[in-house]
């Protein structure tokens, strides 16, 4: 018999998804066909944004957003260290400088007061990350952005389906980026999306996604050439998503609300089971912030905090695909080589020392959930 192993995240692909992919394989367009537009329209509608741009992955989405925001050499962009490296790498791709602001130890999200401390004359943008799916304090972040004329790029790789004071994530900041990697809320294998309400940003993103090339008559410098003619206007990339992926995305999007509901249910069960366990801190939810629960992260506290490694190993041995999200980005040798030093975000560093991500995905069975609860309590208490 195969030993029990419950991963921390897993996709759900049903027959309808498979049919959606196969239908495209039998059609005329494998890429740059009608499924791109359809996915973009439906996605924009879902989050309540004017425009959506499908792009090859969540990292390319961040790269595109930084490009469209005009980030370049000398520009500083403030983000959180408790994120996947892509959030700040995108700034580096554009020649800008990531600046890390510390987290709020209650929500684990970037703390607006810490953002204020990091603002200089060179600050150009803020990249709040809706860590685990809990929306950041957007009212405060918007206030700061207005005060200093900064662009907001929300990294919502965890936040699809979340809402903030009645508004869906994806409709709030200047641009919002999403990922469709298999551990995220919906998947297209690899894939990403940028949403915006700003037409100018939208036009920049469209160019950026395909080499900076356009056939759009009104944008061409030379109006005299024939129907074959196109122009490259800026330096873009090939960051296109395929019709195969977009068709899968359209099919997955139909199930998103159900997925989010299931994630919320599981998180609720974990909360109840763990709320009174000594040495364990459960994730705190701010008033009016409705998480989409990409991750369920517990924090070890007090005497057992220093035993994180042993506890982690015991949970793995028990068949739980536990993980740690995240190592503060500036700990990495690459960032240290750029001159970032440890100690700059002490609350994030404290947080990192105690965290463990538990399995959470919509197809978990009752038996899986009970198994996780039982093993976690047993290991933490021993």
- Among the listed ranges 24-32, 52-60, 277-285, 367-375, the one in contact with ligand PLP (CB under 6 A) is 52-60
Kind of pairing between the strands at 192-196 and 231-232: unpaired
Choosing from 9, 51, 59, 66, the residue that interacts with ligand PLP (CB under 6 A) is 59
Using the rule CB under 6 A, is 96 a contact of ligand PLP? Answer: no
Residue nearer to ligand PLP on the CB measure, 56 or 214: 56
Choosing from 158, 168, 185, 240, the residue that interacts with ligand PLP (CB under 6 A) is 158
What is the contact mask toward ligand PLP in residues 115 to 134, using x (rule: CB under 6 A)? --------------x-----
For the bound state, the minimum distance from the C-beta of residue 84 to ligand PLP, rounded and expressed in Å, comes to: 4
Q: What CA–CA distances, in Å, run from 90 to 53, 121, 153, 172, 335? A: 17, 21, 11, 20, 13
Choosing from 78, 144, 153, 157, the residue that interacts with ligand PLP (CB under 6 A) is 157
Residue nearer to ligand PLP on the CB measure, 60 or 280: 60
Residue nearer to ligand PLP on the CB measure, 59 or 107: 59
Choosing from 11, 79, 80, 87, the residue that interacts with ligand PLP (CB under 6 A) is 87
Q: Count of alpha carbons within 13 Å of 332, Cβ hemisphere only?
A: 16
Q: Are 154 and 177 in contact (CB under 8 A)?
A: yes
Q: Are 233 and 216 in contact (CB under 8 A)?
A: no
- Among the listed ranges 83-91, 230-238, 360-368, 371-379, the one in contact with ligand PLP (CB under 6 A) is 83-91
Choosing from 8, 39, 84, 274, the residue that interacts with ligand PLP (CB under 6 A) is 84
What's the CA gap between 32 and 245, in Å, rounded? 11
Residue nearer to ligand PLP on the CB measure, 59 or 314: 59
**Size, binding site for ligand PLP by CB under 6 A:** 14
Kind of pairing between the strands at 51-55 and 192-196: antiparallel
Which of 115, 129, 130 shows the shortest CA–CA distance to 76? 115
Using the rule CB under 6 A, is 82 a contact of ligand PLP? Answer: no
Q: Are 195 and 176 in contact (CB under 8 A)?
A: yes
What's the CA gap between 67 and 52, in Å, rounded? 16
Using the rule CB under 6 A, is 86 a contact of ligand PLP? Answer: yes
Using the rule CB under 6 A, is 357 a contact of ligand PLP? Answer: no
Locate 13 and state its tokens.
């692909």
Q: Are 356 and 300 in contact (CB under 8 A)?
A: yes
What's the CA gap between 39 and 157, in Å, rounded? 17
Using the rule CB under 6 A, is 170 a contact of ligand PLP? Answer: no
Q: Are 160 and 130 in contact (CB under 8 A)?
A: no
Residue nearer to ligand PLP on the CB measure, 58 or 64: 58
Residue nearer to ligand PLP on the CB measure, 102 or 155: 155
**Could you write out the DSSP letters of every residue in 223-257?**
-SS-TT--EE-S---B-PPBHHHHHHHHHHHTTHH
Using the rule CB under 6 A, is 291 a contact of ligand PLP? Answer: no
Q: Are 346 and 81 in contact (CB under 8 A)?
A: no
For the bound state, the minimum distance from the C-beta of residue 378 to ligand PLP, rounded and expressed in Å, comes to: 30
End-to-end CA distance of the chain: 28
Choosing from 11, 79, 83, 176, the residue that interacts with ligand PLP (CB under 6 A) is 83
Which of 21, 1, 77 shows the shortest CA–CA distance to 252? 21
Using the rule CB under 6 A, is 181 a contact of ligand PLP? Answer: yes
**Which H helix or E strand runs over 334?**
helix 333-337
Choosing from 112, 133, 170, 192, the residue that interacts with ligand PLP (CB under 6 A) is 192
Site for ligand PLP, rule CB under 6 A:
57-59, 83-84, 86-87, 129, 155, 157-158, 179, 181, 192
């Amino acid at each position: 018999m195969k030993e029990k192993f419950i991963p921390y995240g897993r996709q759900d692909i049903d027959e309808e998804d498979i049919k959606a992919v196969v239908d495209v394989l039998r059609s005329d367009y494998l890429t740059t066909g009608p499924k791109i537009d359809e996915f973009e329209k439906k996605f924009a509608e879902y989050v309540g944004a004017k425009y959506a741009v499908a792009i090859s992955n969540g990292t390319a989405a961040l790269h595109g957003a930084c490009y469209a925001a005009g980030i370049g050499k000398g520009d500083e962009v403030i983000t959180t260290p408790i994120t996947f490296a892509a959030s700040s790498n995108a700034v580096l791709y554009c020649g800008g400088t990531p600046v890390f602001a510390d987290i709020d130890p209650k929500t684990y999200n970037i703390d607006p007061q810490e953002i204020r401390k990091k603002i200089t004359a060179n600050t150009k943008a803020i990249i709040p990350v809706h860590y685990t799916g809990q929306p950041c304090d957007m009212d405060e972040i918007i206030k700061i952005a207005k005060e200093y004329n900064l662009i907001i790029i929300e990294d919502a790789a965890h936040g699809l389906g979340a809402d903030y004071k009645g508004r869906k994530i994806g409709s709030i900041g200047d641009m919002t980026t999403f990922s469709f990697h298999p551990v995220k809320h919906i998947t297209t294998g690899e894939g990403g999306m940028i949403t915006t309400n700003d037409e100018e940003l939208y036009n920049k993103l469209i160019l950026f996604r395909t080499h900076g090339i356009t056939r759009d008559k009104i944008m061409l410098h030379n109006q005299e050439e024939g129907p074959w003619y196109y122009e490259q206007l800026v330096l873009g990339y090939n960051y296109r998503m395929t019709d195969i992926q977009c068709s899968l995305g359209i099919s997955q999007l139909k199930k998103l609300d159900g997925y989010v509901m299931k994630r919320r249910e599981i998180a609720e069960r974990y909360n109840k089971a763990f709320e009174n366990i000594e040495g364990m801190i459960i994730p705190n939810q701010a008033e009016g912030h409705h998480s989409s629960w990409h991750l369920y992260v517990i924090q070890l506290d007090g005497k057992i905090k220093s035993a994180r490694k042993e506890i982690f190993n015991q949970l793995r041995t028990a068949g739980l695909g536990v993980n740690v999200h995240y190592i503060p980005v500036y700990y990495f040798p690459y960032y240290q080589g750029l001159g970032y030093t440890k100690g700059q975000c002490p609350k994030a560093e404290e947080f990192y020392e105690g965290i463990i991500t538990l399995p959470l995905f919509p197809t978990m069975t009752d038996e899986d959930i009970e198994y996780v609860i039982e093993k976690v309590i047993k290991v933490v208490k021993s």
